[in-house]
Structure 1
């Protein structure tokens, strides 16, 4: 595997581990163990951590020490406020620009969410719930909005890790189904209303007392993510 693909593997693995709450906010990310885990230099790990910092997932301190970001309550509320504004427009554009096969694609994704929920795969449910919104943003046909939404969705995963109670998969999946039905009917205002209620519901479930960082070994946490990311990088 080339150095660039190894760097991508490190970035993708750490990113997914954060999104799925395997690495919770406040977890330290020392360069040496990460370099050993991914068999790359500290320079490439530094680059991966810088990318994660630009995504808002990692904080890098004055002494170049990196930790998984811990959003404040003020930032959490601002993120949800921004999401409601952006996703309302995304829904309007998605209805107006609905293409053949788009509904079927979303339905297939919801089936994945159902399967993860049925198998009690809580971490996968968290990731898939966020990916539903990203797919919807891509349907809107505006790459700028899609990019902003992707960043906000990943930040919401951090917010849920800090403040949220265990993910309510059944609730999210049912709300996604309702959104798909409104899209199928091309009922723009109903779809916008459903999205607003959905995001308010996520926020209400999220902003609860903080969770503490795990003391589990970093290598043990990242090993399955490293393998999955390496497989992904190897296919590109």
Structure 2
């Protein structure tokens, strides 16, 4: 049982990275047999991983049609970003009032990792940009906020993968650095302004754009099998 769980965990982690790094685009089919063959596991292990991703909102599973990377709509995009602004504003207010002792150091360390990934032109930079916001939520110590932020950040990643325009990752990192400085100074007004501007910039990049959603899933998963966090 533990072996099945560990195999399912490995598939889940690999697929999650591939989706959040936009290697697997919204609408991409995720056949259980192809996933099982790639990871040399049973379809049951593949199905368990897909069910977990479905619970995260990253995958949609439909009867008789199988699993696919979730396809957010423009209406959902508007709702997700509206909720995200409210949730992240709450995170900022809490952290300005009470930041863990090593919180600023953890944020700075994360941004440095973002910079390294960007300099290496690694798709990890996309995932790390979202995980910065999850780290902010984790520093509040609120399980509910962590869960909610994780969900909206994941959905935001899918929205950008489907509708997003190209953008400057350097700008996103600069805004993260500015936010850290405002949090360090416990300046709620400045931190809130930076966060609102940052999220509006992310939302503004969304636009309708038809894209090819038929990649070679086996080739992508082979890359992510050995990829480290």
- Normalising by the smaller structure, the TM-score range is over 0.9
DSSP-derived class of the 2:226 partner: helix
1:219 paired with 2:218, answer yes
Give the Å deviation of 1:119.
2.0
Aligned equivalents of 2:214 and 2:80: distance in 1? 28
- 1:99 alignment partner in structure 2: 100
Give the Å deviation of 1:108.
1.1
2:26 and 2:213 in contact (8 A); partners too: no
Q: After alignment, is 79-88 or 40-49 more displaced? A: 40-49
Q: After alignment, is 22-31 or 42-51 more displaced? A: 42-51
Give the Å deviation of 1:99.
1.8
- 1:33 alignment partner in structure 2: 34
1:25 and 1:213 in contact (8 A); partners too: no
Aligned equivalents of 2:210 and 2:16: distance in 1? 19
* Residue pairs, 1:45-124, within 5 angstroms: 45-121=46-122, 123-124=123-124
Aligned equivalents of 1:128 and 1:211: distance in 2? 25
Q: TM-score, normalised by structure 1?
A: 0.92
Aligned equivalents of 2:146 and 2:202: distance in 1? 20
Give the Å deviation of 1:217.
1.7
- 1:159 alignment partner in structure 2: 159
Give the Å deviation of 1:216.
2.9
Gaps of 5+ in 1: none
Give the Å deviation of 1:69.
0.7
226 and 167 in structure 1: CA distance in 2 versus 1, 3 angstrom threshold: farther
1:141 paired with 2:141, answer yes
Give the Å deviation of 1:144.
0.6
Backbone CA RMSD of aligned residues:
1.5
DSSP-derived class of the 1:154 partner: helix
* Residue pairs, 1:7-26, within 5 angstroms: 7-26=8-27
Gaps of 5+ in 2: none
2:14 and 2:221 in contact (8 A); partners too: yes
